[in-house]
């Protein structure tokens, strides 16, 4: 299935599932409020009119339910898939959503309007309704009407070795509704043969794989499909990239094939931007009294300014001025070359345990990462993100010996990342540090950001591994 078709199908599924979860909560409330149900189980009755006090919960439930289902991989499966691929992700998602509603009701002190019975019923009903929807969809998609509307009959065009490989891949994803009805040898067969195949099989598309074929032959196939009004799908694997993902776009009316190793613009990326801005703003407001106290103590425990400013490499290596509480004596940067032999970090990064340049109060700030708090202003300004690879000084980035290490600059630097929760400053090999950063970039999702943020707090409070 084409990515465009998969995206539309997923959005329709998410809308339907959000509606079913909302309906499940209403049905659970109605069922719990019926005298027959409460009398049968010996529960205290609740008036149905009290449901008005719980309408607010839909504003959290409707957007959250599809996101939780997506996080469990519910939508990342074939259209027609085996029941275990539906059962376990759906069961886990219903459990998470139910627990989330229980916590919301507890936080907002609305438990008298939504007793535990409502939540238990909601969990069972939501699972049953979504499962029933999936069963109905399978039956509907296997019907003759669905096959005539959504089933795609295609011709594979390319050299025999490539089309054979592609046929095996399509067969392995037989649940996606794509059927190969014929093959066309792009390197030797006359164009008339393709015309005959198009007319004979009434295909909906021609799948062209042209890594080793002449471009003029590819062009003739595309022009023929254009005349016939048949879709042409050109496999864009001319170049052997290992990490970069290809996508199509357009600029000034010209089609572009874009290769990128970072996430493309999406709702998750927009969510990350909003999380950075409002998260940093909230944390600045919440921690401003603490930052004021720290600034005063830094100023009075050692001579020099309260804040330390330094040029760091940001997105794509663009320099920006990072803001931290000063934890070293004012001549620390001038003394660094004298401590070069003590460097415990391989590569261009400089790290020393018990660095003599660090003040007594600065050591305590570093242990609990409190010196990083002013970087929230960098996040607010857009120089940094809450989660991302830690920004390195400009001169250290210039000393990168491996060009592949610069890929960590392809996203905004952050306050915390995987190294913070998987090893913090215990890591002494710069290559391992970079590996964790690239692991974050290659597997990024908004859920990974939230997970890192949640795990960072206990790592910082333990104060282990800090230098």
Q: Tell me the per-residue pLDDT of 60-111, one tens digit each, with 9 for 90 and over.
A: 888 999 999 988 888 887 776 788 888 999 999 999 999 988 888 887 777 6
8 A C-beta contact, residue 86 and residue 13: no
Which pLDDT score, from 0 to 100, does residue 207 have?
84
8 A C-beta contact, residue 317 and residue 406: yes
Show me where the domains of the chain are located: 3-144, 151-238, 267-462
Residues in contact with 103: Cβ distance below 8 Å, sequence separation at least 6, in sequence order:
none
The answer to whether the predicted template modeling score (pTM) of the entire model surpasses 0.75 is: no
Number of residues assigned to the chain: 467
- Give the C-alpha separation, 406 to 400, whole Å: 8
Residues in the chain predicted with pLDDT less than 70, given as ranges, are 1-5, 38-45, 80, 111-114, 143-150, 174-177, 211-214, 236-242, 249-252, 254-256, 265, 332-347, 350, 352-353, 423-428, 463-467
Q: Give the pair of three-digit tokens for residue 29.
A: 């409330």
- Give the C-alpha separation, 311 to 8, whole Å: 44
Q: Tell me the per-residue pLDDT of 30-54, one tens digit each, with 9 for 90 and over.
A: 888 887 776 666 666 677 777 777 7
Which pLDDT score, from 0 to 100, does residue 166 have?
83
CATH 3.40.50.280 assigned to 151-238 = yes
Which pLDDT score, from 0 to 100, does residue 467 have?
56
Which pLDDT score, from 0 to 100, does residue 94 have?
93
Which pLDDT score, from 0 to 100, does residue 258 have?
74
* Residue 244 Cα to chain centre, angstroms: 16
Which pLDDT score, from 0 to 100, does residue 413 have?
93
Which pLDDT score, from 0 to 100, does residue 133 have?
92
Which residues in 290-312 are b (16+ Cβ under 10 Å) and which e?
ebeebbeebeeebeeebebeeeb
Q: Tell me the per-residue pLDDT of 278-318, one tens digit each, with 9 for 90 and over.
A: 999 999 999 999 999 999 999 888 888 999 999 999 888 88
- Give the C-alpha separation, 388 to 415, whole Å: 7
Angle separating helix axes 83-107 and 58-71, nearest 10 degrees: 140
């Amino acid at each position: 299935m084409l990515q465009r078709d998969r995206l539309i199908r997923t959005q329709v599924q998410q809308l339907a599932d959000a509606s079913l979860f909302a309906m499940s909560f209403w049905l659970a409330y109605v069922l719990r409020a019926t005298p027959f149900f409460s009398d049968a189980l010996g529960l205290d009755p609740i008036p149905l009119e009290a449901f008005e006090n719980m309408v607010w919960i839909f504003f959290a439930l409707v957007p959250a339910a599809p996101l939780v289902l997506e996080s469990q991989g519910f939508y990342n499966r074939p259209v027609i898939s085996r029941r275990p691929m539906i059962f376990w992700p759906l069961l886990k998602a219903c459990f998470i959503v139910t627990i989330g509603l229980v916590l919301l009701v507890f936080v907002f002190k609305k438990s008298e309007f939504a007793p535990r019975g409502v939540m238990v019923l909601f969990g069972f009903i939501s699972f049953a309704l979504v499962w029933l929807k999936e069963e109905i969809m399978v039956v509907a998609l296997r019907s003759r009407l669905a096959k005539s509307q959504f089933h795609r009959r295609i011709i594979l065009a390319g050299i025999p070795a490539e089309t054979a490989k592609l046929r095996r891949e399509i067969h392995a994803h037989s649940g996606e509704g794509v059927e190969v009805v014929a093959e066309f040898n792009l390197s030797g067969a006359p164009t008339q043969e393709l015309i005959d195949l198009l007319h004979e099989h009434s295909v909906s598309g021609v799948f062209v794989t042209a890594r080793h074929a002449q471009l003029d032959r590819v062009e003739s196939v595309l022009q023929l499909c254009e005349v016939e009004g048949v879709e042409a799908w050109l496999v864009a694997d001319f170049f052997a990239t290992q990490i970069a993902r290809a996508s199509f776009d357009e600029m000034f009316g010209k089609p572009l094939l874009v290769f990128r190793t970072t996430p493309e613009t999406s709702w998750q990326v927009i969510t990350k931007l909003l999380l950075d801005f409002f998260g940093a703003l909230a944390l600045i407001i919440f921690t401003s009294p603490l930052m004021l106290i720290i600034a005063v103590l830094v100023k009075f425990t050692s001579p020099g300014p309260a804040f330390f400013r330094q040029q760091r490499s940001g997105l794509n290596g663009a320099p920006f001025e990072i803001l931290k509480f000063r934890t070293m004596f004012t001549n620390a940067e001038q003394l660094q070359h004298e401590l070069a032999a003590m460097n415990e970090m391989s590569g261009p990064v400089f790290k020393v345990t018990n660095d003599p340049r660090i003040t007594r109060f600065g050591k305590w700030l570093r242990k609990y990462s409190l010196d990083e708090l002013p970087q929230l202003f960098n996040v607010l300004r857009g120089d940094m993100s809450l989660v991302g690879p830690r920004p390195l000084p400009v001169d250290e980035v210039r000393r990168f010996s491996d060009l592949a290490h610069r890929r960590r600059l392809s996203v905004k630097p952050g306050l915390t990342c995987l190294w913070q929760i998987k090893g913090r400053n215990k890591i002494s090999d710069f290559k391992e540090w970079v590996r964790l950063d690239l692991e974050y970039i290659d597997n990024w999702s908004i859920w990974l950001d939230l997970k890192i943020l949640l795990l960072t707090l206990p790592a910082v409070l333990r104060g282990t591994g800090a230098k």
